Amino acid sequence: MPESFFVLSKDHLEIAKDEIIAIAKTYDRFAKSKSFSNLVIIQSNLTWERISQRATFVKISGQILRKMSGLFLGEDNFEVLKNAKTFVCRIVNLSSKQFDIPQLESSMGDMISKLSQAQVNLQNPDIIIYLIFTNQENFFGFSKPEKIPKRPKKVRKHPHELDWRLARVMINLIGLKEGETVCDPFCGTGTTLLEAESMGIKAIGLDFDKKMYEISKENLESNGFKSKLIKGDFSEFTKIQDKFDGIVTDLPYGTASKVSENPQELIKKFVTMLPRRKKIAIMCKKGFEKKLNMKSSKAYDIYRHKSLTRAILIK
């Protein structure tokens, strides 16, 4: 079974690793994973491009060609360069050993150009050859320059808006697929809706505040997105439960945004209304989750600043 590698940014590392695994399992329930430091290896029939296009915190990704015990590679390792005119060699050192990386990259480059037809091109290579060192295992792999996916525009912003990366990661953690629908009952500026649509997932948003409803509408329209928007109380979602597959939301904190009632009361009410059989990801102020009496399968702490840590709960 092919293996892909993903080197992740160290921001929110736990959630970043779980996101990669969740995406792989969404499309291939037999996918297997292992990780070393900020490297995740996925064994699955899914291509690395497919996972990487969806994921939020990937810095480098590609396909593993084989594990390495030393630095010695034979001609048969360069099959991958058969149709490539140019390549570049990159070392990713996640081990505690010290390497002279530029020197190693350059000598690997020389060696590979002697063993294959391809030439080194630092700026615009057809193939990127990776040597990845960890304290446990070393890997030899390759990647191709990827098109950076187009980000949705956000023409209107608001101080309380959710970091798009967290909205995206929440959608991915609950395993929604293209064509399915997510509902955000407290949609604010529409961050969840924009991220969902940018991944081919349909979305429905609710917000009781006319101003927020209009901001969301403008944000969606400026991207040509078709999410359904309802100006109304969050509880309206109970009437349209057959129209969506999962809920992703960032609950009101009662600080920067308007809130219809005491946030703790509102949240309690919200939790009692949650559908049993749907996939759910909720962000709230850390500490609130204890009062929610919601059985979550996983919780993550998201540090914002010294007086605000938030929690992401997955059910």
Ligand X SMILES: C[S@@+](CC[C@H](N)C(=O)[O-])C[C@H]1O[C@@H](n2cnc3c(N)ncnc32)[C@H](O)[C@@H]1O
The C-alpha angle with vertex 250 and arms to 249 and 251, in degrees rounded to 5, equals: 110
Question: Is 90 or 202 the residue whose CB approaches ligand X more closely?
Answer: 202
Taking the complex as a whole, the smallest distance from the CB of residue 184 to ligand X amounts, in Å, to 7
**Nearer residue to ligand X within complex by CB, 6 or 186:** 186
Give the DSSP H/E element, type plus range, for residue 22.
helix 13-27
* Shorter beta-carbon distance to ligand X: residue 99 or 164: 164
Q: Does 94 bind ligand X (CB under 6 A)?
A: no
Which of 152/252 has CB closer to ligand X? 252
Nearest distance from residue 265's CB to ligand X, in Å? 10
d(CA 168, CA 87): 32
The reply to whether 19 sits near ligand X by the rule CB under 6 A is: no
Chain residue whose CB lies nearest ligand X: 188
Rg, the chain, Cα only: 22
Told to check if 186 binds ligand X by CB under 6 A, we report yes
Phi, psi of 312 (to 5 degrees): -110, 125
Residue 67: strand pairing partners: 139
Binding flag, residue 257, ligand X (CB under 6 A): yes
Residue 298 Cβ, how far from ligand X at the closest point, in Å? 20
> Can you tell me whether residue 103 is helix, strand or coil?
helix
Nearer to ligand X, 62 or 252 (CB): 252
Nearer to ligand X, 88 or 281 (CB): 281
Q: Does 162 bind ligand X (CB under 6 A)?
A: yes
CB of 198 to ligand X, least distance (A): 14
234 binds ligand X (CB under 6 A): yes
The residue assigned the tokens 């990647």 is 143
Write the CB contacts of 192 (distance below 8 Å, at least 6 apart in sequence). Answer: 162, 167, 170, 171, 182, 184, 203, 205, 248, 249, 250
Q: Is 191 in the site for ligand X (CB under 6 A)?
A: yes
Is 206 one of the binding residues for ligand X (CB under 6 A)? yes
What six digits make up the tokens of 70? 């030393």
Of the candidates 284, 224, 278, the one whose C-alpha atom is nearest the C-alpha of residue 249 is: 284
Closest C-alpha to 187, from 221, 238, 227: 227
Is 6 one of the binding residues for ligand X (CB under 6 A)? no
Exactly one of 109, 125, 141, 188 binds ligand X (CB under 6 A); that residue is 188
Task: Compare residues 246 and 252 and give the one whose CB is closer to ligand X.
Answer: 252
Of the two residues 132 and 194, which places its CB atom closer to ligand X in the complex?
A: 194
Largest CA distance in the chain: 71
Report DSSP state, residue 210. H
What Å distances lie between residue 131 and 49, 51, 234, CA to CA? 19, 20, 50
Contacting ligand X (CB under 6 A), which of 71, 91, 259, 274? 259
Decide: is 238 part of the binding site for ligand X (CB under 6 A): no
Cα 126 to Cα 18: distance, rounded to the nearest angstrom: 30
Which part of the chain contacts ligand X (CB under 6 A), choosing from 109-117, 132-140, 154-162, 290-298? 154-162
Smallest distance, Å, CB 9 to ligand X?
A: 21
Contact 240, 206 (CB under 8 A): no
Q: Which residues bind ligand X (CB under 6 A)?
A: 158, 160-162, 186, 188-189, 191, 206-209, 212, 233-234, 250, 252-253, 257-260, 266
